[in-house]
Amino acid sequence: MTEFPAEFNKRMEKLLGEEYSQFEKSCQEDRVQGLRVNLLKTDRDSFVKRFEGFGLRQVPWAEDGFFYDGETRPGKSPFHEAGAYYIQEPSAMAVVSLLEPMPGERILDLCAAPGGKTSHAASRMGGKGILVSNEIHPARARILSQNVERMGCRNGVVTSASPDGLVPYFPGFFDRVIVDAPCSGEGMFRKDEEARAQWSPENVRICAERQQEILDCAASMLRPGGRLVYSTCTFAPEEDEGAIDRFLESHRDFSVVRDKTLPGLSAGRPEWTAGGRPELAYTHRIWPHLAEGEGHYLALLEKAGDDQIWEESRKKDRRRTGNGPKYVRDKAVLRAASEMIGEICPGAEWLRDREEWFLFGDQLYLLPGEMPDFSGLKVLRPGLHAASLCRNRLEPAHALAAALKEEETSRVCRLTEEEAKRFINGEAIPFSGEKGWTLVTVDGFSLGWGKQAGGLLKNHYPKGLRRLL
C-alpha cells in the first residue's frame, strides 16, 4: 500500500468530506497510461486503424488522445522515435484541448519541458504560426528541444530563460499562453515516489508564491483579447483556485472563460478560497476517483481588450523594418539552400520562397515568420534546423527529415518495423536505390536520412539518438 504524507491526507479529508473515502481508494489503484497522435504526421482515423494493437481507448477530454495497454510498450517502438505519437499522462492532454491553439497564431508555452503540451500545441497548429517553448533549466530545455525535433515541429522556437527574462522580448505578443506551473505535484503521488518524498506544507507555500510570479509574466506577454491556460498537477487550493483568485485580484483586465469545458472535467471549488469568488466554479479539476487520470487543475482566462485594434497594431508592426532577426543575406548560402531543397525535397512547398533563413553558428535554421529580434536571449532552437554548413556545402539536418513527408521528397527508403529498429540502432541497411540523400521511413513515418553507397544505405541517424529497441 502506497503511503501518502499524513498532513496531506488530513487536509484532503477535510476538503473532500464524504468524497474522501473514494479519493483515498483511487490513490491506491493502478494509474492509466496515455498517448496522443501527432497530427503533423498523420490523421486521427488512420492512426487508430494503424495502432489498434496498442489497445487504444479514447481520452474523453482530448479527441487526439488515447489510453493504451501498458503491456504493449509503445515507447519501445520505432514509431515513437519517428514521432507518430507522444506518450503523455492523459490528464495533461486537457490543457491544450481547453486552450484550443489554432494554425497561424502566436503561442507561448512558458514552462514547457519535457514537451508534452508544446508538441500538443504544435500538432494543433499544423506548422503555421509561431510556437515559443521555454524552459528555465538547461538540461530540461535540451530534452524539450529534442522532443520538438522528434515530433517534426516546423514552427517551434526553444528558449531557456526565466519568465521575466522573456518579457522584454515579447510584450503583448502572444495570442495564447500555456502556464503549466511548477507545483507540489500532489496529483502525481500515486505514480511518483519522489513527489511524495519532497512534499511539505512549506513547499506548497513556496510553489504558490512562484506561480504568482510566473502568471504575472505570462499576463504581460499576452495580447488584449488573448487567452491563457493555467494548470497544475496538484490538489492544493493555495496553488489552484487560490492562485487564480489572487491573480484576478491583481489583474482586473482578466476573467475566467465561462463557456468552455470538456467531458470528464469537474468544477473548481470557490469555497476553498478565502474570498469564495463565484467564477472560480468555471475553472476545472480532474479527480482520480471521478475520471481516468491523475490529479490536475486547469483555469482558462481571457484578457480584456479590443483584439481588432490589436490586430491593426500587429499589421503595422509587420511593416516595420529592422526589428526582426538578422536573416541570411549571403547569396551563396541562399543559393545552396535553394539547391538543397530542389534536390532532396522538391515537393515541400512550405520551404520554397522563404526569407526567414537564419545562420546560428554554422547551422542553418528556418525561423517562423514575424519573429521579433531575440539578440541576447538564450535560444536553443531558433526554428526548424534545416542544414549544417560543411566545407561550403549544406548537409540536411535530422530535424528537416523529421518534418518532411514521403511525398515531399525525391528519394525514399521504406523500412519494415524490424529494419527500422536496426536503423535507429545505427546499422546500415541493404539498399540499391538512387544515390543521394534519401528519406528513411517506417510505414510512412519519417525516421531520418540515409545515403546509398555500395548497395547499402549509409546511416545518418544522429549518434546521440541511437538506441537499441
pLDDT in tens, 368-415: 999 999 999 999 999 999 999 988 789 999 999 999 999 999 999 999
Per-residue pLDDT, averaged over 72-76, amounts to: 96
What radius of gyration do the chain's Cα atoms show?
A: 23
63 labeled part of a ligand binding site: no
Answer left, alpha or beta for residue 334, where phi above 0 means left and psi between -120 and 50 means alpha.
alpha
Cβ(202)–Cβ(238) below 8 Å: no
Beta partners for residue 132, in sequence order: 108, 157
Q: What does DSSP say about strands 363-366 and 222-232: parallel, antiparallel, or unpaired?
A: unpaired
- Predicted local confidence at residue 2, as pLDDT: 78
Answer left, alpha or beta for residue 425, where phi above 0 means left and psi between -120 and 50 means alpha.
alpha
Cβ(319)–Cβ(384) below 8 Å: no
- Predicted local confidence at residue 316, as pLDDT: 57
Q: Could you tell me what percent of the chain has a pLDDT over 70?
A: 96
* Cβ atoms within 10 Å, residue 88: 22
pLDDT tens digit sequence for 11-55: 999 999 999 999 999 999 988 999 999 999 999 999 999 999 999
Answer left, alpha or beta for residue 126, where phi above 0 means left and psi between -120 and 50 means alpha.
left
The rounded distance, in Å, linking the Cα atoms of 115 and 136 is 13
236 labeled part of a ligand binding site: no
- Predicted local confidence at residue 146, as pLDDT: 98
- 3-state SS assignment for residue 430: strand
Cβ(122)–Cβ(148) below 8 Å: yes
113 labeled part of a ligand binding site: yes
* Residue 323 confidence class, pLDDT cut points 50, 70, 90: low
164 labeled part of a ligand binding site: yes
Single pTM value for the model: 0.95
115 labeled part of a ligand binding site: yes
Closest CA to 268 of 301, 236, 233, 240: 240
Q: What does DSSP say about strands 174-180 and 222-232: parallel, antiparallel, or unpaired?
A: parallel
* Residue 453 confidence class, pLDDT cut points 50, 70, 90: confident
The CA distances from residue 377 to 162, 382, 415, in Å, are 10, 10, 41
348 labeled part of a ligand binding site: no
Q: Could you tell me what percent of the chain has a pLDDT over 90?
A: 90
Query: Can you read off the three cell numbers belonging to residue 124?
Result: 494543433
Beta partners for residue 358, in sequence order: 365
Name residues whose C-beta falls within 8 Å of residue 77's C-beta, 6 or more positions apart in sequence: 417, 469
Closest CA to 102 of 180, 179, 174, 181: 174
403 labeled part of a ligand binding site: no
DSSP string across 47-86: HHHHTGGG--EEETTEEEEEE--GGG-GGGSHHHHTTSEE
413 labeled part of a ligand binding site: no
Q: Is the pLDDT at 318 greater than 60, yes or no? A: no
pLDDT tens digit sequence for 214-259: 999 999 999 999 999 999 999 999 999 999 999 999 999 999 999 9
Active-site amino acid positions: 233
Instruction: Quickly count helices (H) and strands (E) in the chain.
Output: 15, 23
The rounded distance, in Å, linking the Cα atoms of 288 and 122 is 28
Per-residue pLDDT, averaged over 300-317, amounts to: 74
